[in-house]
């Protein structure tokens, strides 16, 4: 296997993952009680649409068809989120605290994948690809940072609940 192949496989993995996330975020927003959290999930959904488009551009640059490959990791993370919503049935700060943790697990997975793709894109000497992926990585980092911020008051309310 060449580094180009590893890059292509991982691109398919994150392409699959982003499209799953696109479906999961509205459910997470709907379940969120805190308006800032709801809004944060919905805004990130909009960003995610742009991220899918960037990935399609990367597929085009490497001369491959945009195609996903089942990502067990993202399926597992989304399943954990579904489990949380089954167990924490009451809307409120405790369920929100759990949703934030689920969201951050997803952002961290994405950061790990984009980090690897960027490093390989650099090694392969493709600046155009690196630039596209770095734009997305920055959005994932911001989404994670926003969740950390929202968590502070939510966790306090959760403790008092």
Decide whether 72 or 86 has the Cβ nearer to Zn ion: 72
Give the burial class of 38: count Cβ atoms within 10 A of its Cβ; 0-12 exposed, 13-18 middle, 19 or more buried: middle
Decide whether 20 or 94 has the Cβ nearer to Fe ion: 20
40: left (phi over 0), alpha (psi -120 to 50) or beta: alpha
Q: Which residue is nearest to Fe ion (CB)?
A: 71
Q: Using CB under 5 A as the criterion, what x/- string covers residues 63-102 for binding Fe ion?
A: --------x-x-----------------------------
Contacts of residue 156, Cβ cutoff 8 Å, sequence gap at least 6: none
Choose the binding region for Fe ion from 27-35, 58-66, 115-123, 141-149 (rule: CB under 5 A).
141-149
Partner whose binding site includes residue 140, from Fe ion, Zn ion, none (CB under 5 to 8 Å by kind): Fe ion
Dihedral over alpha carbons 142, 119, 101, 81 (to 10 degrees)? 120
**Binding site residues, Fe ion, CB under 5 A:** 13, 18, 48, 51, 71, 73, 107, 110, 140, 143
């Amino acid at each position: 296997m060449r580094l180009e192949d590893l890059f292509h496989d991982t691109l398919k993995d994150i392409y699959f993952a982003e499209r799953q996330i696109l479906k999961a975020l509205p459910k997470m927003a709907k379940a969120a009680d805190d308006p800032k959290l709801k809004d944060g999930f919905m805004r990130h959904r909009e960003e995610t649409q742009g991220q899918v488009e960037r990935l399609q551009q990367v597929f085009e640059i490497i001369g491959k068809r945009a195609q996903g490959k089942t990502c067990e990791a993202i399926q597992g993370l989304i399943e954990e989120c579904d489990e949380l919503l089954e167990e924490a049935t009451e809307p409120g700060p405790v369920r929100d605290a759990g949703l934030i943790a689920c969201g951050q697990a997803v952002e961290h997975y994405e950061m790990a994948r984009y980090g690897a793709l960027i490093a390989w894109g650099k090694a392969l000497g493709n600046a155009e690809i690196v630039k596209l992926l770095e734009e997305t990585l920055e959005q994932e980092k911001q989404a994670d940072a926003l969740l950390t911020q929202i968590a502070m008051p939510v966790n306090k309310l959760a403790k008092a609940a």
